[in-house]
Structure 1
Amino acid sequence: MPRHLKSAPRKTFADTAQKDVAERVGTIIDDIRSSGDDAVRRYAEQFDNWSPESYRLSDEQIDQIMDTLDPQVITDIEFVQTQVRRFAQAQRDSLVDLEVETLPGVFLGQKHVPVQAAGAYIPGGKYPLTASAHMTIITAKVAGVPRVIACTPPIRGEIPAATIAAMKLAGADEIYVLGGVQAVAAMAIGTDTIEPVNLIAGPGNAYVAEAKRQLFGEVGIDLFAGPTEILIVADEHADPFFTAVDLLSQAEHGPESPAVLVTTSQKLGEEVMDWIERLLPNMPTRDYAEPAWRDWGQVIVADDLDEAYRIADDFASEHVQIFTQNPREALTKMHDYGALFLGENTCVSYGDKVIGTNHVLPTLGAARYTGGLWVGKYLRTVTYQEVVNETSSAELGEVCGRAARVEFFEGHARSGDARAWRHAGTSFDWIDESRAVQATPR
């Protein structure tokens, strides 16, 4: 029976449904749908005090912006993007087209076809999430998307230079300094100056998330996103200092970011709580991390690791770290999570920033039914069929006719009958009657 050393409410998907947010977002989308660029400019001025001659950056502007950066920033971006590209390419290589012959002369095939245009939203706000450019743009390009446009908001009236560099180096075909609902809507709906895309990916605040929710169906999206989550499964051998540091590393994302420890050791749990209280006062991002830990943090003591894994699966957390003597055991013991981070040498921050796996992951329990953003999200798996053997076509036609009539689809049945009649000489009253009428002189 699990015991709570620290309890907190559980966030659910229903928590994202804020009526005032939904109504405001809907109004903005409708306005952009009817007024296009004029509405986009009006909202950019209202929310970001931003009204350049063009929201799209020219190649010359991008080069000038990148020249302002320390060369080490560029080097680090290139290092990280190499890691992301390598893993994304390995994912793409695992997806193969196929064709099988299921009956003589009956060929069924499958192809992975990229969407033709994708939009990447890279947040700004309190944090310029440069790494999101790697995750959304590189993954799309490795998938083979021919046109990838990217939007990021200005930060306090300034262009975020490192984010622009990351967008350019990732391979974005068009770069816009434009944020919020107006950016998402412009990419989805299209305006006179922005051609619409087929799929939008990338994290954002509650308004961006709601815009993606409302536009889903008109365009594809990566997933619905809520506050960042972390859950750590730890045994008595875990380091309480590392555990506390890693919990706070994700709590700093925002005041509603849950940080949960599930441990088999009450002693460890108490030590982690003590470390958190010691670390928080001097943490530069305390304004976010402290309320997140206070209001949403939990420490749960499980009887054994099997119970700990069951508790972790019940949370279906975005990020799950495993601090146990045999961390790879979680690969077989667990099934509901956005991403696993195995062992104390691995941390969620590596996944967020440098290691190469994608950091756009499911939250609020969505890990029970979906994984995170990956190459496959930008691909459509489509099928094709070809029948070149007349005997097989006749056999399929006869079965099709019978199966369709069970469902009262006479038109479907007749398509099958026609092939059976032509290739096998099977007689059907409706065909005989139709052909007799056609042969009758007028």
Structure 2
Amino acid sequence: MNEMTKDGQVAEQWDRTVRHGGRLHSPLATDGWAWRLIPPDHPALQGRPSALRMNDPGEALEIISEQYGQPEYYCVLGGNVASVSGWTGISFDEQYQALARGTGAFPCGGMYYCSVRGPDAVRVLGALTPRRVDLLDVGQAAFAVFTTPEGTVDTEGVVLRDGEDSFQISLGGDTRPPRWLHDALDSYPRAWAEETDLSSFNLKGPHRDQAMLRLLADDAAAQVLQLPPFHGARVGIRWGGEAWVLRTVIGIEMWGGPDVIREAWKRMVADPRTFTPCGWEVLATYRLECREFRFYLCPLDIHRGTYLLDAGLGHVVSRGKREPYVGRGALENPEYFSGQMWVGGLTALSPGAPRRAVGEMLTSEARDIPSGYVTSAAYSPRAGREICFAHLSNRVAPGSTVGFGDGSTWRAVSLPLQLPNVVPGRGY
């Protein structure tokens, strides 16, 4: 593998061989806890010693449940309870309509939050990602993929520069720091990292800005409304104190300590005309229907088996970056690593086709051989049928027909999915 030396250089010490053989292998299919939905009474949630990581600073899930009933399922991602699928007292349709016509509020307490600080903080982060975090101004953020020596995805998240020598990181994935973080800290001793008690929530939908302003001090409105994408500001909140408000491409987020996020959720559930809590079932649909960008989720759609350039993530590889980083050699030599697979979409040819399982293998209609596997699946009201993200062999061209063991047939398509513009009304 690539190992970082004491002077910050990356030593190439691994064999450049083709990563994939004649068939794709799904790491999700061999790890039952990489992705799983479990009911509230599942032994893994009650067990001692604890089998799962369950972290929710601000107690968002508990506050929502007091108003909307218990969770239908808990969503386990990489051994971590990341969120819930939904709540018994609020329907999928209500959540979907809020995202289309109002404001949907997603709790994000189950993610992993850490900080990197010190004079060498920018070098530490720069050694872990192909993105140029040194170009971020204070108050600016970026989506960053942290890479492996093979140029694949280790984990991903949003990096916010909250000070000249300080960064806050909200990581999705399987809730751990980047795997090579401690090697980078060893190379750059004038920096330190720690897990923080930050939490956040994300508002989506056409009225998200006005909804966020209901939680902020009056004098914060002008600054927040003028934020461009991936910029944030530390502003006053309505009940006293401050929090970071961060705009992304399709959402607006609040980052704060547990007390701040707890009070925010109390106010949001008390205002159902403005805020509709949303779970991960509707998030899957939202991600798959998203037109603005490929809305992948780590470690489902992107993981150590996903080479960045195969997955359409070349935009997170900063041009002109000269500093060494984990995976640089692989990303600069795509002829050795690229071209074995692509990330595409699947649309069911029949409206009655069943939901696919994450990790489920598919075969080409022309050949009875594995041709890919499902990474995310959901029902699309826009399409009126089930749709998926999938890792697909290069033998499967866009427009090809593929199938599953139950005999259902699906169309492999390029991303983003081309779906009808019209949002179905209630009770579609």
TM-score, normalised on structure 2?
A: 0.25
Larger Rg: 1
Higher relative strand content = 2
Higher relative helix content = 1
TM-score, normalised on structure 1?
A: 0.25
